Amino acid sequence: MVSSSAPTLGQVLSLSIECADCGRNRWRKTQELYRIKGIHSGTQLSEIGSRLVCSSCVDDGLPGKNIVIQAAFSFEEDRLRADAWRVSNLAARAAG
């Protein structure tokens, strides 16, 4: 279960989107992602990576689903909240 205080796309200026398989990396402004079905300003950052695919990997016949994102936050408070959320989310995963 994801906390309601989880950071959302509307809180960031841009995202670094990287394929962990091939290393391809692109910076995208949040507005560029709104054209993807189901992504809007309220979409939690934890959901975005699962909705994207690496076109280079797909062209090579691979799934292209190993996507990692990093956010450039627009406000310091939002960045601090996201850091706290990430720590609590990692602790929850480690606990099983």
Residue 38: strand, helix, or coil: coil
Tokens of 48: 């975005």
Confidence of residue 3 (pLDDT cuts 50, 70, 90): very low
Residue 30 lies in a domain: yes
Query: Which residue bears the tokens 């959901």?
Result: 47
What count of residues does the chain have?
96
CA 25 to chain centre: 13
Residue 4 lies in a domain: no
Residue 24 lies in a domain: yes
Tokens of 31: 């507005």
Residue 96 lies in a domain: no
CB 70 within 8 A of CB 15: yes
Residue 56 lies in a domain: yes
Domains identified in the chain, total number: 1
- Whole domain around residue 17: which residue ranges? 9-91
Of 1-5, 21-25, 77-81, highest mean pLDDT: 21-25
pLDDT tens digits for 57-74?
999 999 999 999 998 876
